[in-house]
Amino acid sequence: MSKKPATSFDVIVIGAGPAGYSSAIRCAQLGLKTACIDNWHNEKGRGSLGGTYLNAGCVASIALLESAKIYQSLTHNLKEHGIQAEAVSVDVAQMMQRKNRIIDTLSRQIADSFAHYKIDCIQAKAKLLNERQVEIAPTDQSAVSVIEAKHIILATGSSPIGLPCAPIDNEFIIDSTMALNLDAVPKRLAIIGAGVIGLELASIWNRLGSETMLLEAQESFLSLTDQQIALEAYRIYSEQGLELRLGARVISAKKGNKKVTVEYQDSEGTHALRVDKLIVASGRKPNTENLAAAEADLLLDENGYVHVDENCRTTLPGVYAIGDLTLLGPMIAHKGIEEGLFVAEQIAGIHNPVNYDILPSVIFTAPEIAWVGQTEQALRAMGEAIKIGTFPLKATARAQAMGQTEGMVKIIAQAETDAILGVHIIGNHASEIIAEAVLAMEFSASSEDLARTIHAHPTLSKALREAALALKTKK
């Protein structure tokens, strides 16, 4: 196919997930002529901006979890409120339609922002040719062309990692994307991986009636989180009916008679279980395959991550990489968004670097887990002198009134300076409460500052203040 003459821009963004669309919009707001190339298509074959985060990740998962929580309330928790509900059933197709409507609405909002800021949105596969040119191959099979820009931002995101022992067929052995598009509730469900993605998926299908087992190769549960919070989470999730099998290394998964037989090893030997569906949630990898032509000499590491400096600059002048493509921070949407804004402003001559030390993390289960800063185990390993304050949510009037009393707030401060070093929460709306802790740490607040901050009563956020007060009373 012939290549059309190059069209010129100030900035080309490859990818329209959170990192990409945020960066493109900010570039345009700063007066830069911007193009954004994206290749995501929904189940109807139409372009859908928003990347994995919107179409097959966090937003889709949260939407389904809200439906699952309502169903669980109707079937388990209403009698104590004096409310009777009969013949409650699950319509998975309708549930998926609601989820898809939310995705479509948010995707259209991104498209509307692109139109408002006059961003050229191109539905195509993109390949970096050099530090100034990008080849685009439109999905409608029209002619391949080349566009160029002074600056190019790579933001193609990530995709699920497959396992040789459990080959995906997206019928019985499925990935995390397909797990958000099932047409029925599996009677028995196994998930490989008890990390963030595995737990979020388990929270949905367990509430909808699946007997759910998570097979985690690591001996410890949620090793990246504060271990006091992780132990509390293990207890809560187990009581909810999730079967968490740690130190369980899957060695094979075979289909047969419309079931999957999963074989795994642990400290007690080899075991087998039969399930209706097996979800592979063993992590994600950066989408860098075929992202750049060989002659472009874009430097990647052995795992496919783009090599960047602290300013998200690649080894190619004027080319940046953000979001899941780099090892600067974890693979979370708001990290990519902040990097997208940072790079856009950097191109425009503004320098506002990302503070990775106070990047909040959230696991959208029920209850939620959220944290910012350092964990207790990491600080003790460094020999840091610390003091700790905790407060159980069951001691708050709001949690009691809501009937959501599980969880706690934990604050860690430096022993001498009282600077807040970490805040860890498990509980209802933890993802919202953590924002106050992030703000406090951004402004270098002490635990005393939090303890002296008046909170409305009764609220869940008041537990944060109570944890700070508990810390202040300890010697």
Where in the sequence numbering do the catalytic residues fall?
457
CA 46/CA 228 separation, integer angstroms: 45
Q: What is the 3-state secondary structure (H, E, C) of the chain?
A: CCCEEEEEEEEEEECCCHHHHHHHHHHHHCCCCEEEEECCECCCCCECCCHHHHHCCHHHHHHHHHHHHHHHHHHHHCHHHCCCCCCCCCCHHHHHHHHHHHHHHHHHHHHHHHHHCCCEEEEEEEEECCCCEEEEEECCCCCCEEEEEEEEEECCCEEECCECCECCCCCCEEECCHHHCCCCCCCEEEEECCCHHHHHHHHHHHHCCCEEEEEECCCCCCCCCCHHHHHHHHHHHHHCCCEEEECCEEEEEEEECCEEEEEEEECCEEEEEEECEEEECCCEEECCCCCECHHHCCCECCCCCECCCCCCECCCCCEEECHHHCCCCCCCHHHHHHHHHHHHHHHCCCCCCCCHHHCCEEECCCCEEEEEECCHHHHHHCCCCEEEEEEEHHHCHHHHHHCCCCCEEEEEEECCCCEEEEEEEEECCHHHHHHHHHHHHHCCCEHHHHHHCCCCCCCCCHHHHHHHHHHHHCC
Q: At what angle do helices 430-442 and 462-473 cross, to 10 degrees?
A: 60
Distances (CA, A) of 11 to 7, 101, 321: 12, 31, 13
Which residues have C-beta within 8 Å of that of residue 199, sequence separation ≥ 6? 214, 237, 363, 365
What's the gap between Cα 149 and its chain centre? 31
Amino acid at 28: A
The residues facing 422 across adjacent strands are 373, 412
